[in-house]
Every structure is written in C-alpha cells, then in structure tokens.
Chains A and B, each alone.
Chain A
Amino acid sequence: MRTIKIAILMAAMVLTTSSQAQETLQPFNPDYRDVYWMHGLNGKGHYMQGLADYFGNMYQMNSYSPEYPSTLGIDHAANYWRRYDFDRRNDNFVVTQSMGGLVARYYDQRYADNRFNGLITIAAPHLGSEFANSFDNGKLKSFFDGVLNDGVEGFAKAVVDMPLVTLVLGVQEKLVSDLEKEFEKLRPNLTKQVDGKSKALLALDYIVFFMLPSSFEWPVSNVFARITSNNVTKQLQRFGITLGAMAANTVFGEAINGVYMGKEELKYNSPIVRSINNGAPFHNRNTINIVGKAKDNIDIRFLSSTLDKDKLTDWGRNSIGLVKDDGLQSFINNYLIAKSQALSADFSKVGNISGWAAALHFLLLAGDPLATVNAVKLLSKRSTCKEIAAAFDRQTNFWRYTFESRYETCLGNKYYTTSTETYYERVWVDDGPIHGPKPGAGLQPGTGGPIDFIEEPIIGDDMPGSSNGHWEYIPRTYTVTHTHTHPSDGIVTLPSQKGWKEASVTIEIDDVDHESVKRSWNTVKALESIFNKKGDFFEIPLREKALTPEPILPKPGKPLPRLPDDGPIMILE
C-alpha cells in the first residue's frame, strides 16, 4: 500500500510540475494569461471551479482551479504551490478565497523565483479568525451546550404535561408509540463515539430533525422531546465534544496526529499570521482585497452553508449565483420561532383568566360530577400551562436572538457595554401580626402567609379590605450586558478581512457569507468590474464568443470523481 501511495505521489508530482494539468473546460491558449483560482482551508479544487469556469469561459484567460493540500499548514501549502507554473508569463495572477489569501502572501514573501504578478484575495482572514480560537477557549462548546439547554427547553417542558396532551390526542397514542420504537432503533447511532465527519453530520441531523420539531406535528415532536430529555440529552452532553469535533472537521479538515493545523494557524494573530503581516509587502501593487459582509443573520446562514456543504456534490461547479435562500439553519430558526410563538399562544389560553372563566361556564352547563372533576384537574394545570407558554416564549427569544448572539460570540466580533436595568415584582408585605402566624406562611421573608394575600388579590390605589398586609412594588436590579456586533461574513470579521495593509484596492461586497462568497453573483460582479477596468493590470478582454452560451446553467449534478482521502496529498484530476 505504501509503495502504491509513493508511486501515486510521484506520478502526481511529475504531472503537476511538468504541465498545466489541472482540470479546466477551456482549451489551453499560450497567448492568454493564466489565472489561478485557489481554494481555502480544507477545500477541494472544485470549490473554486464555479468561478474559474465562469470567467474562463467568458474572458481570454487560461483558468485553473487546482487542488492543493490545505490542512497541513500555510508553509506546507505554499511549498506545494511551487509546482505551479506561475511565471510562465509575467502577468499571471492568482485569485484566492479565505486562507488561500494567506498562503498566497506567504508564498510571495518566500519564493521569488516563480512568482505570480497579481493577487486578488476574497474573504481572507488577514489577521486570523477568532472562530479558530473559540474551539480552545470553550466558547464553541458553550454555544452548543446553550442549544441543548435553552433551545430545546420549551419542547421538553411541554412533555411534562403529556397527560393533558394525550387527553386531547388519545387516538394518536399508537402512532406515538410506534415512532418511539422507531427512534429507539436509530438511537444507538448517537451513542457511538463519533469522530468522523459523516457520523457527526448524521448526529446533527438527529438534533435538527428529531430533537427539534421541525418535520413533525407537535404531539409527535413532544414525544421526541421527551425522549430527548430523558435519554438523549445525557449523551448529547458528551456529544458537545463531538459537535466541536464536527465543526473542526468541517471547517479545518481532518486532524493530523491530533492537530488541526488550520485551527492553530488561523487563530487570531497567530505567529504565522503575524509573520505574514510583518514580513515583506507584496512585491508589486497589483493587489486587490475583496471583503465579504453579511446580512444580520449571516452567522446562521454560515452554519447552514457549512453544514450543508457535503451534501452538495456539485459544490462550486455550475452553482454560481445560486445562493438565494437563507439556508437550512435559518429556515429552522424561523420555523422554530413561529412554532414556539404558536405553542405559547395555545398554552397560555389555558392559563388565562378568560380560559378559567370559560371552563367554568361550560362546566356548570354540563352539570356532571365527572366532568367537574376533569375540569378541576385541567384547571389545576393552569400554572403548568402558563409556564410552558413562558418556556416557549423563552425559546422564541432563544431562536430569535440568543442563538445568533452566542454564535457571534464564537466569532469574537462582539464588544460589550453594561447598564443597570430594573424591573418590579409585586410582593405582599406584612403590616403586623393581626391574625397571628399562618400555617405555611412566609412566601417572602417578612411577609404574610398565603391566606393574607389571597384574601386581598386586589392591587391599586383604592385597595379595599382590611387585611394586615398590602402589596408593594419591589424593584429588582440587574446588571445587563449589552452586546454589539462588528460586521462579519459569518466566520471572519470585517476588521480581519481588511487587515491587508498593502492591498491597493479594497472592494466590499454585501450579502455573502464565508462559504457562499465562492458562488455568489455579488462576487461575480465584483470580479467583472476588476477584469473590465480599462488600463488596469487585471484587465482581461472578453472572448469573442463565450465558450458556453449559458455557463451558469445549473446542470444536473455530475458528481466529481472522489479523491482518495487516506493521505495528505490530493491527486489532481
């Protein structure tokens, strides 16, 4: 096996160093400039192929999107780049995404003998990414813990009141029981120690589609929530590590000997990032920095696109401009928000005073002792129903605001201010022991017993009655931390993306996240403006006739040949 690997490696080196053997749809034209489209960390050649093909078909360029080992460190990657024939002409240039920008700058500082003469970076973490730090400082784990703690709380709580639900839905018990059994069959997958990406993604599917009621009606979801709270949550606590590993795998690639090189190097202001920024500037002024900025819920969209990445067999290729939707996670978020609000509204009806009065009305109409008992039992659940409603409110807040806010914390693109806020509670204050001590007294220290305040549940200026206590507003003061967010593309903040001092031009594009920037129309437009600019280094004439009339057509997925995953060297196609 080892011999074969070496042979393949040697063959690959021969191929890649001796010719421009990277896959391209355009025939090689020696009179055209070479443009290299370089992917980022944990990328594949086809990730940039959408852009490479689009511009290769439209413009007079030889367009390449080679694949290089990107998870072994910037130095290793730059060394690997030496095999490319950058200086075939003196006006070739490189377009990079994400970490590719740092590799390109590092390469320019180290290897003057085979230089490319222009560099366009897209969404590069020029100063590093706090997201990488988040894995080690516990922010990411805390984020995933929060999803379990608060994100599923309302649904788990609803199950507390299952008898109330089954009273309504008794006929569905069998369905529910069948689904429980079905889930039990699937559950062992979760119990395995998951360290591979595919298994981790599978597990994430469980969280998304089973723990959270996104694809089932609510009574069924309640069952899953119950199973979650009873059986799965404990495993998921351990699973937090797995989620972190999954994120690390997805973003940084496989660990080599337990080390995610990309994670270490891309930490904010890491030694290599510092050395690149403190080293020699790019050897000429042909430098453009494209900076991606997202809408407000970009973080969620980033998660979505990243976690969906492996499901896109045609990722990059032919998918230019197809970034229209908000992605899975955003959909789930909005769904959960709407669902939580609806459930809150339903449960609060029971707790409301009008619900009480209405029940009383029908109860008296019915005049049946058994109905009375059932009604009183239902009415006794008013506090539970109200609390469930409140739990759904909390969950609404979580998915509307907190989830995103906590993810942003992982990016490190936040700064904080604090203020003091006060809210008021009504507290019964004892005015003296007129009635003597009451059994069960002492709801609040120094206050009367339950009888007193239930005797006088009336508040206001004209408080009637002659009890030995009164209601008072009691202020509760909290120090509230306000969070403010720097813009980002969902993984790299704007300050970091703009951290390339010698970039002669910086172009800001909106509404892209770190992944979708590779296939967004906004990127295409930015690049077109660069290539069309008369007299500029990057000006490239259009082909007289585009090689394909509709280069952006989303063709049916033609999966790329799978590359061997068992070694650090990726063979070019």
Chain B
Amino acid sequence: MKTINRIPRTLQTALLLAALGLPPMACNESTMEQQTATELTDQQTDRAQTSIKHGSRLSYTTTKVMVSSNLNNGAKSQTASDALFKEVQQVDVFVDNEGKRCEEFSRLLEHSHKKPGYDPTLVAERTVRNGQTMGFNAAGRLLYATEPSGAKDGLSSSPAEELLLTCAERSERIQLLLEQVRNAASSDIDMEQLSPNVVRITVRDADANGPTTSVTYLNLKYGVPVKVEAYNSQGLLQNSLLQLYKLVDDVPVLAYEETVGYSTNIDGERVEHKAITHFDNIKLEKF
C-alpha cells in the first residue's frame, strides 16, 4: 500500500469528503427546473445503460420495508394506518476492470403505495454515476439529481475497486486503519479487541445538545463493519445500523441492512422507525 504523506490537509479532507460522497449541496434544483426536452431525451436514452465496456456486474433485488411504531409502556403499536411502506427494486452495479469507475442502476419493481395509473412523483428508476444520484419517474422525467462527487474539486468518484475486495483484502485494510488510529492516540477514540475477530471502536463527539458517543463493531475476519450505534448526551440510543453479508466468490456482499431510529412525536411519545432491506438474488459476474 503506497502512502502519500505530503498531501495538504485541506486536500485530504476534500478527498475524504469526496470519498464519502458529501458534496456541499445535496440537491441540484436547477437540474429539475431547467430541464429542456433535449436534455430529457438524452437522459432517457442512456439512463439505463452502463458506459462501462468490460468489468464486473453485481446484481440483486432489494426489498425494503419501513415501519414506524409507538413505544408506549414497552408495547409497540403501529403509529398510523399507512405507516408500513414497502418497495422492491432490481439493482445492477457495474464496476470496470480497472476498479476506477462504478455505475449503479435501480428499477422499481413494486411499491406498496403506488397510486393507480401514472404516478408522476414516484421514482421508477435511479442511476448513480460519478457519485451523482438521479431519480426518474416512469415517464423518464428527472425528478431529482444530487451533485456529482468531486464536481467542485475535479476529483473522480469513489474508487470502485473497494466494492469487490475479498475478505482478506478488506481485513488487511482494516488492520492498517486500526494501526493508524492507535498511532494517532486520540483521546476521543477508544479501541477494544473483544475477540480475535471483533474490534469495538468508541468515538466521543459532540453535537449542539452535548456530548455524543458512537460505537462501531468491526469484523476482522471478513473485513466488514457490522454494527454502528449512536447515543445522545443522555446515553439514550438514538439510532443503529446493522449490516450482514453473504459471501460471493469470497467477496462479502451486503445482504441485509437494518436501520433503527427514534423520534419523539407531538404527544411526547417515543417512536421507533425501522428500515429493513433484504438483498436477494445476488449475482456477481464478469462481462
């Protein structure tokens, strides 16, 4: 692994932010409003086709269920009659042979709250290119577009090669990360080896309301993050993320994801929000 120590810190931050896909502006409104018929036609033409000639294709279907429940007296109850949303998508991810480019195409197969007939506000297709996500409705009209990653600083999108690393390669990188954290000796970060395969990283930070804590569990054997939990200043669990995998050619591919968050409603009741995604029919192939 080569290291570049002389990169200015601002650029390092820029690199990180680009890698994390955090452009300053989240929504490119002008894209929506200034669409011309020609632009739309162009986007319609290529929105579902990859420009990658040779590489790997990872495909799967996702079934996502979102449900909100009241947590009153320890019992759960559905918050509203329309609180359970479900959507099924077909996803194809293309990664080129050099591992530099990655494109993702999703198509909506089913939505629990689709209105009868043509539903102009429903996103039927999504494309991700150069870190830019675009959503289209069934008629091919662009509904939204995020800013492309690195649009401002000229950096390319996230390195695609990471997506298809094997367990061993991932594990090696995580070990390097841990070593660097150890060297940094930051008082904000604690690391604990819970077992030969499991490391827990506790990060202390602060938001406007006071100190916060987040706990990340990493699996060294497979080289993947498994669970992240965030606690507020009162020590209450604010949200958590659980990610489970399937092994495809020794590559850990995301197979299950569960996001749990909490909020307080207008009556002061605590509400639990769950978003559960199953990844099925996972296939990895060269083309």
Give a binary string over A210-230; 1 marks a CB under 8 Å from any B CB, 0 the rest: 000000011100000010000
Q: Is the CB of A380 within 8 A of B180?
A: no
By a CB distance below 8 angstroms, the chain A residues around B240 are: 383
Instruction: Tell whether A88 is near chain B: CB-to-CB under 8 Å.
Output: no
A349-375 contact mask (Cβ, 8 Å, vs B): 1 or 0: 111011111111111111111111111
Asked if A394 and B273 sit within 8 Å, CB to CB, the answer is yes
Contact with A along B224-245 (1 / 0, CB 8 A): 1111111000000011111111
B183 part of interface (Cβ distance < 8 Å) = yes
Q: Contacts A383-B259, A384-B214, A454-B227 given: A355-B19 contact, CB under 8 Å?
A: yes
- A237 neighbours in B (Cβ, 8 Å): 266
What is the CB-to-nearest-CB distance from A466 to chain B, in angstroms, rounded to a whole number? 12
Q: Hey, what's the 0/1 contact readout for A452-469 against B, CB within 8 Å counting as 1?
A: 011101111010100000
B7 near A366 with CB under 8 A, answer yes
Could you tell me if B189 and A373 are in contact, using CB atoms closer than 8 angstroms? yes
The distance from the CB of B191 to the nearest CB of chain A, in whole angstroms, is 9
Cβ–Cβ < 8 Å partners of A486 in chain B: none
Residues on A with C-beta less than 8 A from B183 are 369, 372
How far does the Cβ of A298 sit from chain B's closest Cβ, in whole Å?
13
In contact, A480 and B84 (Cβ under 8 angstroms): yes
Which residues of chain B are within 8 angstroms of A357 by Cβ–Cβ distance? 159, 162-163, 165, 170
A376 touches B247 (CB 8 A): no
Q: How far is the CA of A5 from the CA of B7 in the complex (A)?
A: 82
Q: What CA separation (Å) do A146 and B82 show in the bound complex?
A: 12
B133 contacts A by Cβ under 8 Å: yes
User: Do A387 and B259 touch (CB < 8 A)?
Assistant: yes
Q: Which of B3, B113, B255 contacts A367 (CB 8 A)?
A: B3
Contacting pair A460 B254 (CB below 8 A):
no
Q: Are A397 and B195 in contact (CB under 8 A)?
A: no
Q: Are B16 and A362 in contact (CB under 8 A)?
A: yes
Among B65, B126, B225, max chain A CB count under 10 A is at B225
Chain B residues whose CB sits within 8 angstroms of the CB of A424 once the complex forms:
276, 278
Which residues of chain B are within 8 angstroms of A164 by Cβ–Cβ distance? 22
Q: Which of B158, B201, B275 touches A393 (beta carbons < 8 Å)?
A: B275
Question: Is chain A's binding surface mostly helix, strand, loop or mixed?
Answer: helix
Q: How far is the CB of B192 from the nearest CB of chain A, in Å? A: 11
* Residues from chain B with Cβ under 8 Å of A382 in the complex: 216, 225, 228, 241
Does the CB pair A380–B27 fall under 8 Å? no
The answer to whether A346 and B144 touch across the interface, beta carbons within 8 angstroms, is no
Give the docked Cα–Cα distance between A364 and B65 (Å). Answer: 36
Q: Is B26 a contact partner of A338 (Cβ separation < 8 A)?
A: no
CB pair A346–B159 under 8 Å, yes or no, is no
Shortest distance from the beta carbon of B1 to any chain A beta carbon, whole Å: 6
Chain A residues in 8 Å Cβ range of B177: 360, 363-364, 372, 376
* B94 is an interface residue with CB less than 8 A from chain A: no
Instruction: Give every chain A residue within 8 A of B281 (Cβ-Cβ).
Output: none
Given contacts A372-B181, A481-B81, contact A342 B146 (CB under 8 A): yes
Q: A116 CB to closest chain B CB, in angstroms?
A: 42
B66:A149 contact, CB within 8 angstroms: no
Contact A342 B82 (CB under 8 A): no
Give Cα distance in the complex from A451 to B177, angstroms: 20
**B143 interface residue per 8 A CB criterion:** yes
Docked complex: B165-185 residues within 8 A CB-CB of A: 165, 170, 173-174, 176-177, 180-181, 183-185
User: Which single residue of chain B is at the shortest CB-CB distance from A357?
Assistant: B162
Contacts of B224 in A (CB 8 A): 353, 457
A518 within 8 A of B: no
- In the complex, which residue of chain B has the Cβ closest to the Cβ of A381? B214
Residue in B82, B194, B227, B238 whose beta carbon sits within 8 Å of that of A401 in the complex: B82
* Inter-subunit contact A365/B84 (CB<8 Å): no
Please judge, given known A-B contacts A383-B229, A387-B241, A483-B81, whether A346 and B26 are in contact too, CB under 8 Å. yes
- A386 in complex: contacting residue of B16, B135, B145, B239, CB < 8 Å: B239
Residue of A nearest to B240 (CB): A383
Q: Decide yes or no: A363 and B180 within 8 Å by CB, A168-B17, A373-B186, A453-B226 being known contacts.
A: yes
Residues of B within 8 A of A169 (CB): 24
Q: Is B71 an interface residue (CB 8 A)?
A: no
Q: Tell me the bound Cα distance from A378 to B201 in angstroms.
A: 12
Given contacts A343-B26, A384-B230, contact A459 B246 (CB under 8 A): yes
Q: For residue B261, which residues in chain A have a CB less than 8 angstroms away from its CB? A: 157, 387, 390-391
Q: Which residue of A lies closest to B216 (CB)?
A: A380
A residues less than 8 Å from B3 (CB atoms): 364-367
Q: Does A421 contact B (CB under 8 A)?
A: yes
Q: How many angstroms from the CA of A288 to the CA of B124 in the assembled complex?
A: 44
User: Would B206 and A163 count as touching, CB distance under 8 A?
Assistant: yes
Chain B residues whose C-beta falls within 8 Å of the C-beta of A387 in the assembled complex: 230, 238-239, 241, 259-261, 273
Is B48 part of the binding interface, using a Cβ–Cβ cutoff of 8 Å?
no
Within 8 A of A (CB), among B185-210: 185-186, 188-189, 194-195, 197-198, 201, 203, 205-208
Give CA–CA (A416, B80) in the complex, Å.
13
Say which one of B39-47, B49-57, B115-123 lies at the interface with A: B115-123
Whether a CB of chain B sits under 8 angstroms from the CB of A284 is: no
The reply to whether A390 and B66 form a contact with Cβ atoms under 8 Å apart is yes
A342 and B144 contact, Cβ closer than 8 Å, known pairs A380-B201, A391-B261, A478-B78: yes
Interfacial chain B residues near A364, Cβ < 8 Å: 1, 3, 173, 176-177, 180
C-alpha spacing A361/B2, complex, angstroms? 11
B81 touches A376 (CB 8 A): no
**A358 touching B181 by the CB < 8 A rule?**
no
A405 within 8 A of B: yes
A459 and B245 contacting across the interface, CB-CB below 8 Å? yes
Inter-chain contact B123/A341, CB cutoff 8 Å: yes
Interface: A377 (CB within 8 A): yes
Contact, CB under 8 Å: B163 / A367? no
Do A168 and B22 touch (CB < 8 A)? Answer: yes
**Contact among B9, B22, B188, B208 for A350, CB-based, below 8 A:** B22
Nearest-Cβ distance from residue A311 to partner chain B, whole angstroms: 22
Residues of A participating in the B interface, judged by any CB pair closer than 8 Å: 145-146, 148-149, 153, 157, 159-164, 167-169, 217-219, 226, 233, 237, 296, 333-334, 337-339, 341-343, 345-347, 349-351, 353-384, 386-387, 389-391, 393-394, 397, 400-402, 405, 416, 421, 423-426, 450-451, 453-455, 457-460, 462, 464, 471, 476, 478-483
Sample (28) of A-B pairs whose CB atoms are under 8 Å apart: A146-B80, A160-B238, A168-B23, A217-B25, A341-B135, A345-B144, A346-B26, A353-B254, A359-B16, A361-B173, A362-B19, A363-B16, A364-B180, A365-B7, A372-B183, A377-B205, A378-B20, A382-B225, A384-B214, A391-B273, A397-B66, A426-B258, A450-B217, A453-B226, A457-B245, A460-B246, A460-B255, A476-B67
The 10 A-B residue pairs with the shortest CB-CB distance, nearest first, are A357-B162, A349-B21, A481-B81, A369-B184, A367-B3, A358-B158, A383-B241, A342-B27, A387-B239, A387-B261
Q: A162-B208, A390-B259 are in contact. List 10 more A-B contacts (CB 8 A).
A: A338-B135, A355-B21, A357-B165, A364-B173, A377-B189, A380-B205, A383-B230, A387-B230, A421-B86, A480-B84
